[in-house]
Structure 1
Amino acid sequence: MSSIWQAWTNMSLVVRIIVGIIAGIALAFIVPNVTAIGLLGTLFIGALKAVAPVLVFILVIHAISTHKAGAKTNMRTIIILYAIGTLSAGLVAVVASFLFPTKLTLPTSTEEISAPSGIGEVLETLFVSLVANPITAIADANYIGILAWALLLGFALKAASDTTKTVITNLSEAISKVVQWVIQLAPLGILGLVFNVVAETGLSTLSEYGRLIVVLVSCMLIVALVVNPLIVFVATRRNPYPLVFMTLRESAITAFFTRSSAANIPVNMKLCEKLELDEDTYSVSIPLGATINMAGAAVTIAVLSLAAAHTLGIEVDLWTALILIVLTAVSASGASGVPGGSLLLIPLAASLLGVPADVAVQIVGIGFIIGVVQDSCETALNSSSDVVFTAAAQYAKER
């Protein structure tokens, strides 16, 4: 048994998730009445629901409190490009979600959930959530309140001693480790989720996931092939496609298979050297981009949050959509560095739309099912964009 378990754990998470999907479909046809199998999905969703609020709270406090002031002025253009790129990606995702709305079949009934009447009710809920008790906010998965308190505590702790900041860093690393443990259970959880869906509704429901993947991947392709080149052209006034195609070929492909922006840093550094960029700049911008330049994550968070809203019949007006774009960009920049980390921030964005935490976490579970494709494409876009914007900043300066 130990050798079988070791062989299983040595397999990549992508392969194990695929095995879980196939096993879930097969078991739904072979033993559809064995409801205990579906319990695996329930437990997985419960673990996600438990860890996600704490993750957001700790990571935001850590990011704010440990931020060091006095960054080099030559990084300003790159940071601005990172911000524009992430906001633009969120905009593309929101527009695509309105043009091609996706409704999903969820295991839990949503018939009694009432949608907010408009931006007034949304803003009222937003302001009330902001001043919620922090313990209550975490317990109730009130992500707006969690974010507000995390920001306040983060700024308050900027003046704390190095010892205190070390404790905060250790807490951040610890919760990230817990998230990694939960994600390692994803194949079993996905087996249970797929079993429940197929046993209750048949294979037709899985076609909804195919539509969702098409919307996600199409948005990411638009960002990579249209939005990013347009940003580069405006900044540099030169043809952006030679640079874009080179980064897609030499950075995006490796990031697609490693599914880790951090693991792709050496590849991007070598590519920057090949492009003869300033080493003092890219030695900072590339690691920084692996942390905050998250256009792909912005697409994922926006599309899945709006899919939750469409599923519940929630009408999202223009002003709410604009707020969502900003919140999506901020959430994406704080996405956890583990595979699937952006999925855990979906409840934060979905809460703005009036989507209950229980439903949002079910959407996260669906995100893990499609993550075999989604996370690879997301990482490819995130990582390759780091080089694109680093090069664009230098070319703009040389112009």
Structure 2
Amino acid sequence: MSPTPTLIQRMINGSLVLQIVVGIIAGVSLATLSPTTATSFSFLGGFFVGALKAVAPILVFILVISSIANQTKGTQTNLKPIIHLYLIGTLLASITAVLFSFLFPTSLILVTSDVAITPPEGIVEVLNTLLFKIVDNPVNALLTGNFIGILAWAIGLGLALQHANESTKNMLHDLANGVSKIVHLVIRFAPIGIFGLVATTFAETGFESLIGYSHLLAVLLGSMLFIAFVVNPIIVYVKLRTNPYPLILKCLRESGVTAFFTRSSAANIPVNMELCEKLDLHEDTYSVSIPLGATINMAGAAITITVLTLAAVHTLGIEFDILTAILLSVVAAVSACGASGVAGGSLLLIPLACSLFGVPNEVAMQVVAIGFIIGVVQDSAETGLNSSTDVVFTAAACLAEEAKEAALQK
């Protein structure tokens, strides 16, 4: 007769998603009953997000080196189709945002911003920043969470170590497994961390400040929901020719919910890696595609940039044609790829898009301020869409390749 499991053992072996839901309900309840008490639990959310951000750079660095160094020659990693899906998805998100903005035009009450931000002046500057991130010092890249730089160094070292002896490759493999175990441990604290995040958010902000921007939020969230439940499923169906919704819903449930509350694509990388492992995807593929997606797969960011820009244009009464709107879609897609993988990253690029329509920088910065006001919902939904889509497209490309190989073997 096996002994009765303890409470801690039940928590470790129980459903993580169910525990997160309990954490959300408990956080909302505490914030409603006692906002003062709820704010005292902010350290739990900060501790969880800090742990994720701490482990993510080293996880990506070690896992990518190990995967490439131990890769067998001729192995198909499916990275090219995944990158294609990332870029197509981001562009379609921009176009969707343009259509929603045309159908439901938004007028803003522009306010004075006290947020000191230096926005990029043009696409050239965005691309220039990305280029210099690639050649960043590896130690600095790890310290600052520069995932472009981390990927560049990890890929370079991985390729170089493909010629190392077997003992070195085995050591890298063991090191990757060790870091993965630490990640699993951190993720088990997600229910407690999300409880702290939810309790603090509801206690400090509530939703009173969002009522005045309900129309803007409706357009933003409507666009994001359309991408999540219509556009992404269509892309997955075209790729797999099977019902896409089981995969879509699983990714939203197990990746999107966590990303919604951490509000950081970078912090959600360990969660996505674990989900890819659960989906039995190829490690050589997702170890590169997931951190890359946290940098360039930015459908939610493209929607935010487009909707807020067109809201400013509509408010100022600036006339524009469909060609300019299409150009905005391309600019938003490219700019979104340069958005930082942290909370509020896409808002920094709104002035860049506004410059297309001649909107003064002072007015554009007021739009950025509005973005920060609604950020408690907008940025959370944006990150949930961005992060869950990383796994959706990675899984779609991997499963499509597996189906192709299975068909050839018949």
Length-normalised TM-score, structure 1: 0.62
- Residue number among 375, 385, 392 corresponding to 1:381 in the alignment: 385
**Change in CA separation of 1:394 and 1:150 when aligned onto 2, cut-off 3 Å:** closer
2:394 corresponds in structure 1 to: 390
Amino acid at match of 1:253: V
Confirm or deny that 1:323 pairs with 2:301.
no
**Change in CA separation of 1:282 and 1:215 when aligned onto 2, cut-off 3 Å:** same
Any unmatched runs of 5+ in structure 1?
A: 1-5, 14-69, 109-138, 176-190, 195-202
CA distance in structure 1 between the partners assigned to 2:245 and 2:85 by the alignment: 17
Within-5 A mapping of 1:136-285: 143-144=121-122, 147-148=123-124, 151=127, 165-166=136-137, 173=144, 207-285=211-289
Once the two structures are TM-superposed, the CA of residue 316 in structure 1 deviates from its matched residue by 2.1
**Change in CA separation of 1:215 and 1:279 when aligned onto 2, cut-off 3 Å:** same
CA distance in structure 1 between the partners assigned to 2:232 and 2:225 by the alignment: 10
Confirm or deny that 1:104 pairs with 2:108.
yes
Once the two structures are TM-superposed, the CA of residue 283 in structure 1 deviates from its matched residue by 1.0
CA deviation digits over 1:111-146, x for unaligned, max 9?
Answer: xxxxxxxxxxxxxxxxxxxxxxxxxxxx996723xx
Once the two structures are TM-superposed, the CA of residue 395 in structure 1 deviates from its matched residue by 2.0
Amino acid at match of 1:143: E
For the residue of structure 2 that corresponds to 1:383, the secondary structure is helix
Once the two structures are TM-superposed, the CA of residue 373 in structure 1 deviates from its matched residue by 0.4
Contact 1:102 1:208 in 2 (8 A): no
Amino acid at match of 1:300: T
Once the two structures are TM-superposed, the CA of residue 292 in structure 1 deviates from its matched residue by 1.1
Once the two structures are TM-superposed, the CA of residue 398 in structure 1 deviates from its matched residue by 2.7
Any unmatched runs of 5+ in structure 2?
A: 1-38, 47-67, 69-75, 147-203, 404-410
For the residue of structure 2 that corresponds to 1:143, the secondary structure is coil
For the residue of structure 2 that corresponds to 1:267, the secondary structure is helix
Confirm or deny that 1:349 pairs with 2:353.
yes
For the residue of structure 1 that corresponds to 2:333, the secondary structure is helix
CA distance in structure 2 between the partners assigned to 1:378 and 1:294 by the alignment: 8
CA deviation digits over 1:169-210, x for unaligned, max 9?
Answer: 67x9599xxxxxxxxxxxxxxx9xx9xxxxxxxx9x964411
CA distance in structure 2 between the partners assigned to 1:248 and 1:8 by the alignment: 26
1:77 corresponds in structure 2 to: 81
Confirm or deny that 1:303 pairs with 2:307.
yes
Once the two structures are TM-superposed, the CA of residue 394 in structure 1 deviates from its matched residue by 1.3
CA distance in structure 2 between the partners assigned to 1:151 and 1:256 by the alignment: 28
2:93 corresponds in structure 1 to: 89
Q: Percent identity?
A: 60
CA distance in structure 1 between the partners assigned to 2:139 and 2:274 by the alignment: 33
**Change in CA separation of 1:386 and 1:353 when aligned onto 2, cut-off 3 Å:** same
Contact 1:256 1:377 in 2 (8 A): yes
CA distance in structure 1 between the partners assigned to 2:119 and 2:229 by the alignment: 37
2:362 corresponds in structure 1 to: 358
CA distance in structure 2 between the partners assigned to 1:79 and 1:275 by the alignment: 19
Length-normalised TM-score, structure 2: 0.60
CA distance in structure 1 between the partners assigned to 2:83 and 2:337 by the alignment: 12
Kindly report the root-mean-square deviation, in angstroms, between the aligned alpha carbons of the 2 structures: 3.5
**Change in CA separation of 1:284 and 1:309 when aligned onto 2, cut-off 3 Å:** same
Once the two structures are TM-superposed, the CA of residue 252 in structure 1 deviates from its matched residue by 0.8
Once the two structures are TM-superposed, the CA of residue 264 in structure 1 deviates from its matched residue by 1.5
**Change in CA separation of 1:141 and 1:81 when aligned onto 2, cut-off 3 Å:** closer
For the residue of structure 2 that corresponds to 1:314, the secondary structure is coil
Contact 2:298 2:336 in 1 (8 A): yes
Once the two structures are TM-superposed, the CA of residue 107 in structure 1 deviates from its matched residue by 3.5
Amino acid at match of 1:322: I
CA distance in structure 2 between the partners assigned to 1:279 and 1:293 by the alignment: 19
CA distance in structure 2 between the partners assigned to 1:142 and 1:282 by the alignment: 31
Amino acid at match of 2:341: G
Once the two structures are TM-superposed, the CA of residue 397 in structure 1 deviates from its matched residue by 1.6
Contact 2:269 2:290 in 1 (8 A): yes
Once the two structures are TM-superposed, the CA of residue 396 in structure 1 deviates from its matched residue by 2.0
**Change in CA separation of 1:281 and 1:140 when aligned onto 2, cut-off 3 Å:** closer
Once the two structures are TM-superposed, the CA of residue 166 in structure 1 deviates from its matched residue by 2.8
Contact 1:265 1:287 in 2 (8 A): yes
Question: How many residues were matched structurally?
Answer: 277
CA distance in structure 1 between the partners assigned to 2:384 and 2:358 by the alignment: 31
CA distance in structure 1 between the partners assigned to 2:373 and 2:272 by the alignment: 29
2:194 corresponds in structure 1 to: none
For the residue of structure 1 that corresponds to 2:358, the secondary structure is coil
CA distance in structure 2 between the partners assigned to 1:167 and 1:230 by the alignment: 39
Once the two structures are TM-superposed, the CA of residue 12 in structure 1 deviates from its matched residue by 6.2
Once the two structures are TM-superposed, the CA of residue 340 in structure 1 deviates from its matched residue by 0.6
